[in-house]
Structure 1
Amino acid sequence: MAKVMSEYFGEVRASDAYAYGYGNVRDYLEVPYEANAVDWVITNPPFRLAEEFVKRSLIVARKGVAILARTVFLESVGRYRDLFATSPPIRVAQFTERVPMVKGRLDRKASTATGYAWLVWLRSDQNDAPRLMWIPPCRKQLERDADYPPG
């Protein structure tokens, strides 16, 4: 994700909990960051830690936070109480296509039964109601042969 973002943004800082060959290896929840340290935090957090990632990122980011998460992240009384009731995302962009995720690698043949969405928080729109939108089918237009390892 960070590799592609660097094609569009002036500066991208990348890290991961494991050595996938891109960015520093570190635990985002353990490394100290100052408040308002970066414009955006854009991440695909581990599902079980996604709520903590969002809470931390809302402090770290000046402009906004975007997470790629399984759609079921929106479910949960605890997440509603501890996050969404006070800090709901401004946008929920649901993928209409299934997005296959394979840990640490790309696989052209991967498939999934799991739905994903981008959840976006904008610091300037804290009082606006969340808006649901759909990401139309686009995988074939966005993927490049160079994205995949040879073979």
Structure 2
Amino acid sequence: MNAADAVIPRASMAVMAHRRTGSDDADFFPTPPWAARAMGERIKQLDPMAATVWEPACGAGHMVHGLRGYFPAVWASDLCVYGDHHFVHDFIGDAPSPVVADWIITNPPFGDALPAFIRRAYAEARRGVAMFVRAGVLEGQARHGLLYAECPYTVFCPFSERVPIHRGRYDADGTSAAFYGVFIWIKDQRRHRQMMSVIDGVAYPAVMPFAPGLEARLARQSDAAFAVGVAA
């Protein structure tokens, strides 16, 4: 199955909404497609059997565009519709999930919704979870129990180069002062511990930094179509 043909599952009971630009949406911070490709490469490195992906906060499809080509099927949803190719679903709402995927990969809301996103993704994914977030997620006493006990993550992958993230738009030439990385959860508990750093019998998350030069290597001409508030 081609990923482009798997965006809307037949069983989704989708309710389509009007296109919106996202420019006034505080939670709309598009992920550069090249950064999504880096995530796809890393996930396939850690889990070569990964086949299906669900992006539950897809926005205008920037991350979905980058993930295609790494997985046979990539499904996309969001609370609101930013483009014509998405279906509506509140990931942290009460409605049942419309799809079941090996991996849940997303750039989640950073605010109060983030813990709920982590818990839901950790419970729903069959094989693993990957989230593109600010490294500041590591800070905070309240999140410590979530990240190290309740939903213990396996690997943190910081970007060596700055990833340009802007509210409401994707600007390939933009800059960012924020430090971003990818948190990865491996659901298989045996493999989960094997990938971690064990010190005095205690397993700690491993660090696998992304090497410099990813943007130059992974950017594609097709990404230019996403260099606006919504995909063309």
TM-score > 0.5, shorter chain as reference? yes
Q: Comparing 68-77 with 102-111, which one deviates more in the overlay?
A: 102-111
Instruction: Output the amino acid matched with 2:174.
Output: A
Deviations 1:62-91 (A, max 9, x none): 101110000001111001123423332110
Task: Please say if 1:147 is aligned against 2:223.
Answer: yes
Q: Which residue of 1 aligns with 2:82?
A: 20
The aligned runs of 1:1-151 (5 Å cut-off) are 1-21=63-83, 22-30=85-93, 31-33=95-97, 37-48=100-111, 49-125=113-189, 126-127=192-193, 128=196, 129=203, 130-137=205-212, 138-149=214-225
3-state SS, counterpart of residue 126 of structure 2: strand
Contact 1:106 1:148 (C-alpha < 8 Å) held by counterparts: no
3-state SS, counterpart of residue 106 of structure 1: coil
Tell me how far 1:141 sits from its aligned partner. 1.1
Return the structure number with greater relative CO, CA threshold 8 A, min gap 6.
Answer: 2
In 1, Cα distance between the equivalents of 2:132 and 2:123?
Answer: 18
Paired residues, number: 150
Instruction: Output the amino acid matched with 1:146.
Output: S
Q: Which residue of 1 aligns with 2:6?
A: none
In 2, Cα distance between the equivalents of 1:102 and 1:17?
Answer: 20
Tell me how far 1:17 sits from its aligned partner. 2.8
With the length of structure 2 as denominator, give the TM-score of the two structures: 0.59
Structure number with higher strand proportion? 1
Superposition CA RMSD, Å: 2.2
Q: Comparing 55-64 with 75-84, which one deviates more in the overlay?
A: 75-84
Deviations 1:99-151 (A, max 9, x none): 11124432122110001111000011344431012101111111122201389
Instruction: Output the amino acid matched with 1:131.
Output: A
Q: Rg: which structure is higher?
A: 2
In 2, Cα distance between the equivalents of 1:6 and 1:145?
Answer: 15
Q: Comparing 48-57 with 115-124, which one deviates more in the overlay?
A: 48-57
Contact 2:146 2:152 (C-alpha < 8 Å) held by counterparts: no
Q: Which portions of structure 1, spanning 4 or more consecutive aligned residues, are displaced by more than 4 angstroms?
A: none
Instruction: Output the amino acid matched with 1:147.
Output: D
Instruction: Output the amino acid matched with 1:144.
Output: R
